[in-house]
Amino acid sequence: MLRFDLKNIVLCLSLTVFLSACGQKSNDTHIIKIGSASPLTGAQAHIGIDIRNGVELAIEAVNQTGLRLADKPVKLELAAEDDEANATKATTVAQKLVDAKVVGVVGHFNSGASIPASKIYADAGIPQISPASTNPDYTLKGYKTTFRVVAHDGQQGPALAHFALDQLHAHAIAIIDDSTSYGQGLADNFEATVTAAGAKVVAREHTTDKDTDFKAILTKIKGKNADLIMFGGIDPQAGPMKKQMVELGIKAALMGGDGMQTPNFIKLAGSAAEGSFASIPGLPKEKMPGGPAFLTQYQAKYKTEVQLFAPMGYDAVMVLVEAMKRANSSDPAKYLPEIKKTQYQGIIGPIAFDEKGDLVNGPITIYQVKSGQWVALENSKSPVPETNPTPAASPDKSKK
Amino acid sequence: MDIFLQQMVNGLLLGSIYALVALGYTMVYGILGLINFAHGDIVMVGAMVTLSTIGVLEGHLPIGVILLVACLVAIVVCVLMGLLLERVAYRPLRHAPRLAPLITAIGVSLLIQYSAALIWGKQYIALPELFKPSQYVWAGVEINALQIFIFVLALLIMASLALFVKHTRLGRAMQATEQNADSATLMGVNTTGVIALTFAIGAAIGAVAGVMIDLYYGQAHYFMGFLLGLKAFTAAVLGGIGHIGGAMLGGLLLGVIESLSAGYIGDLTGGLFGSNYRDVFTFFVLIGVLMLRPSGLLGRATTERA
């Protein structure tokens, strides 16, 4: 009798252990990885790190509230990679993220990186949301996995052009680009709109993203009496360019895209920066619906200011997570169709995608340097919502 | 016309910086037959050290003093680097096959670049706006006091180097070493010392070029030495490598050619080639010159090194 009981007890005990083990297993947190790819070193590191920080903040926020998919708790984990703003490195990093079994990627920053990487994510069926790449080509590859939460140059270029014509009343415009897929794409779209509106492009010049001497080009432009110079490129070139414009006594204003709208531009150009114009896809960070709260939260954690795209990085993660919730799965194959249906109120405003994966009605804001600060001028809603963007005719190696 | 003059001024200014850097290449080549590919990176270090020094001193001293101190610090750092390079990387290879020191030079160049990236980071570093140079307009040409200062200083440095090499004892020792190192040793010239001196002078001039680039462009970057070195090396070859006057002529000429080609290629070819073909055109000129005069504009055809 006693022996029998003991046997029973042992049986019961082992059963309990077994069951509790099972229970633990079913309660075990499922860990999924979200990839973040941007330049974390190099001349653009400040912008790339900003994006990664935004992604990290979003992941922490999701983990804090607790995410449950298919009745299991899910914990998000950040897999951040450095693409060095380099097309070749971007594809390596993309493959690395795919191999690490990330369920979604927020990245990349540079169009020249996002575009070649998009094929790798598309082949693996992993959703990619770029927080910052504005080259129209990015979403024109026909991939179902490619999205972005910024307006593209097809929208930014025309917005700048309309501002130049309507507000600045520019008649003779000179255009310079840095021969990258971003810079040339932006400049081409700008040129197409101003030419269509009947303004005169007096010079179309090219430099590179390594150059620091633009005097020859600028002198030539001076000889053509341009009243506005538009530059498609980023701050390390735009800064010295504006400085040399002043040195050459060129009175025309300099205008550029988001690559130039950085504190670094003002630092590099010094007092010459005064009066320059630049556009940024999206609203000013202070004016974003969720802006002020986000800026405080960011400042508290990273002890530095938001550069540019951290809010987009944050929202990109949220878009992924919301889609997962609706699909009740973190399997890319299952939740990818849900991303298309996104209707999300993010920090940057309402987020919805068109059939190409572009942000619908992405706002564009024009800024001007006034007493050493970028000041938002107006919120020019993308004036031509869905024209066919001119694909950049760039011989860039990133576009194969 | 004023646009043409402005392009000439742009070219001469750019060219004077090329010329200073080219001197470093040509002097070392003249004496050792070695192309010191790390020279462009020494210029970069000069520019970086200057920015750091200015960053530390800014606001504590008058601007003139800050610039002078920054320049001196840059010269000292670059000279020490030049001497160290010569001692550690090149001297042990002096009697090795010619390829060995060449490959070493490329290795040293990469080492300096990436060390600089570690120290100063990979971002563009901006020079704080220290002063506003007064601007002059003359016959439609815009030029400021700083640019005139840079140009005059570059010419002064070149002239004093030419005088030094021609008229001092040490200068003559350099010439003797260049002509035949073994004979020079037999004549009592301390060739090892002369070679070290050559590296030191080249590095010091490079440091000054670095300061000038800081002041002229207002920024520095760890990779800037590469393209600059390539252009300066081209200038040295154009003028006749190994020839000090040639480096000066080649530098100024290269600057002017670049400036004019960027300014006029587009219009002359009816928009077929844009300003982005500047470098293509520049190297076209180089190839043309080398086909007609293989030893460069001022180079001696007899220069045949062991």
- The count of other CB atoms within 10 Å of the CB of residue B273 is 15
Residue B140 near chain A (CB below 8 Å): no
Q: What is the mean pLDDT of chain A?
A: 85
Task: Please tell me the predicted confidence (pLDDT) of residue B279.
Answer: 82
Task: Please tell me the predicted confidence (pLDDT) of residue A3.
Answer: 53
The C-alpha of B36 sits at a distance from chain A's nearest C-alpha, in angstroms, of 23
Most B CBs within 10 Å: which of A40, A177, A220, as the mutation test of the B interface? A220
Chain B's closest residue to A43, CA to CA, is B123
Fold designation for A27-151+285-351: Rossmann fold (3.40.50)
Q: CATH classification of A154-281+363-381, choosing from 1.10.3720.10, 3.30.1330.180, 3.20.10.10, 3.40.50.2300?
A: 3.40.50.2300
Task: Please tell me the predicted confidence (pLDDT) of residue A314.
Answer: 94
The domain over range B2-127+138-292 is classified in CATH as 1.10.3470:
yes
Task: Please tell me the predicted confidence (pLDDT) of residue A398.
Answer: 37
- Interval A145-164 mean pLDDT: 88
**Cross-chain residue pair B217–A213, CB shorter than 8 Å:** yes
Residue B3 near chain A (CB below 8 Å): yes
Task: Please tell me the predicted confidence (pLDDT) of residue B282.
Answer: 81
Task: Please tell me the predicted confidence (pLDDT) of residue B45.
Answer: 96
B175, B30 Cβ separation under 8 angstroms: no
Q: What is the percent of chain A with per-residue pLDDT over 70, rounded to a whole number?
A: 88
Kindly report the CA angle at B48 between B280 and B27, in degrees rounded to 5? Answer: 60
Task: Please tell me the predicted confidence (pLDDT) of residue A291.
Answer: 85
**Cross-chain residue pair A247–B264, CB shorter than 8 Å:** no
Task: Please tell me the predicted confidence (pLDDT) of residue A382.
Answer: 41
Q: What sections of A197-331 are H helices per DSSP?
A: 215-223, 235-247, 263-269, 291-302, 310-327
Domain boundaries, chain B: 2-127+138-292
The C-alpha of A370 sits at a distance from chain B's nearest C-alpha, in angstroms, of 17
> Can you tell me the distance from the alpha carbon of A58 to that of A380, in angstroms, rounded to the nearest whole number?
28
Picking from B79, B66, B51, the residue whose alpha carbon sits closest to that of residue B215 is: B51
Predicted complex ipTM:
0.84
A64, A108 Cβ separation under 8 angstroms: no
What letter would DSSP give residue A344?
E
Contacts of A235 in chain B (CB under 8 A): 124
Task: Please tell me the predicted confidence (pLDDT) of residue B34.
Answer: 87
Give the model confidence (pLDDT) of B48-101 as tens digits: 999 999 999 988 888 889 999 999 999 999 999 999 999 999 999 988 888 899
What letter would DSSP give residue A152?
-
What's at A248, amino acid-wise?
L
Task: Please tell me the predicted confidence (pLDDT) of residue B138.
Answer: 81
Give the N- to C-terminal CA distance of chain B in Å, as an integer: 49
Above 80 in pLDDT, residue A249? yes
Give the model confidence (pLDDT) of A185-225 as tens digits: 899 999 999 999 888 899 988 888 888 889 999 999 998 88
Task: Please tell me the predicted confidence (pLDDT) of residue A19.
Answer: 52
Q: Which residue has the tokens 């202070």?
A: A286
Picking from B176, B202, B149, the residue whose alpha carbon sits closest to that of residue B26 is: B202
What's at A172, amino acid-wise?
A
Task: Please tell me the predicted confidence (pLDDT) of residue A388.
Answer: 41
Q: Which of A3-7, A173-177, A303-307 has the lowest mean pLDDT?
A: A3-7
User: Three-state secondary structure along chain B?
Assistant: CHHHHHHHHHHHHHHHHHHHHHHHHHHHHHHHCCCCCCHHHHHHHHHHHHHHHHHHHCCCCCHHHHHHHHHHHHHHHHHHHHHHHHHHHHHHHCCCCCHHHHHHHHHHHHHHHHHHHHHHCCCCEECCCCCCCCEEEECCEEEEHHHHHHHHHHHHHHHHHHHHHHHCHHHHHHHHHHHCHHHHHHCCCCHHHHHHHHHHHHHHHHHHHHHHHHHHHCEECCCHHHHHHHHHHHHHHHHCCCCHHHHHHHHHHHHHHHHHHHHHHHHHCCCCCCHHHHHHHHHHHHHHHHHHCCCCCCCCCCCCCC
Residue B269 near chain A (CB below 8 Å): no
Give the pLDDT band of residue A1 (cuts 50, 70, 90): very low
Above 60 in pLDDT, residue A17? no
Contacts of B122 in chain A (CB under 8 A): 41-43, 45
B153, B208 Cβ separation under 8 angstroms: yes
The C-alpha of B263 sits at a distance from chain A's nearest C-alpha, in angstroms, of 5
Q: Which residue has the tokens 């992941």?
A: A59
**Cross-chain residue pair B123–A45, CB shorter than 8 Å:** yes
Most B CBs within 10 Å: which of A47, A213, A234, as the mutation test of the B interface? A213
**Cross-chain residue pair B259–A179, CB shorter than 8 Å:** no
- The count of other CB atoms within 10 Å of the CB of residue B64 is 10
In chain A, which residues fall in CATH 3.40.50.2300? 27-151+285-351, 154-281+363-381
The C-alpha of B210 sits at a distance from chain A's nearest C-alpha, in angstroms, of 14
Contacts of A236 in chain B (CB under 8 A): 124, 219, 221
Q: Which of A4-18, A116-130, A357-371 has the lowest mean pLDDT?
A: A4-18
Task: Return the higher-pLDDT residue of A10 and B151.
Answer: B151
**Cross-chain residue pair B123–A42, CB shorter than 8 Å:** yes
> Can you tell me the distance from the alpha carbon of A165 to that of A221, in angstroms, rounded to the nearest whole number?
19
Give the model confidence (pLDDT) of A102-112 as tens digits: 999 998 999 99
Task: Please tell me the predicted confidence (pLDDT) of residue A396.
Answer: 38
Picking from B72, B213, B51, the residue whose alpha carbon sits closest to that of residue B123 is: B51
Contacts of A240 in chain B (CB under 8 A): 217-219
Which of B6, B129, B276 has the CB atom closest to A270's CB atom?
A: B129
H or E element, residue A157? helix A153-162
Picking from B49, B28, B27, the residue whose alpha carbon sits closest to that of residue B225 is: B49
Instruction: Using DSSP, state whether A278 is helix, strand or coil.
Output: strand
The model's pTM: 0.73
> Can you tell me the distance from the alpha carbon of A186 to that of B273, in angstroms, rounded to the nearest whole number?
21
- The phi and psi torsions of B103 (rounded to 5 degrees) equal -65, -40
**Cross-chain residue pair A216–B224, CB shorter than 8 Å:** no
B184, B191 Cβ separation under 8 angstroms: yes
**Cross-chain residue pair B218–A248, CB shorter than 8 Å:** no
**Cross-chain residue pair A243–B266, CB shorter than 8 Å:** no
For every one of its 306 residues, what pLDDT tens digit does chain B have, with 9 covering 90 and above?
688 899 999 999 999 999 999 999 999 998 888 889 999 999 999 999 999 999 999 888 888 899 999 999 999 999 999 999 999 999 999 888 888 998 999 999 999 999 999 999 888 888 887 778 888 888 888 888 999 999 999 999 999 999 999 999 999 999 999 888 889 999 888 999 999 999 999 999 999 999 999 999 988 999 999 989 989 999 999 998 888 899 999 999 999 999 998 888 877 777 677 777 888 888 888 888 888 888 888 877 554 443
List, in sequence order, every residue forming a beta bridge with A106; answer none if it has no partner. A36, A129
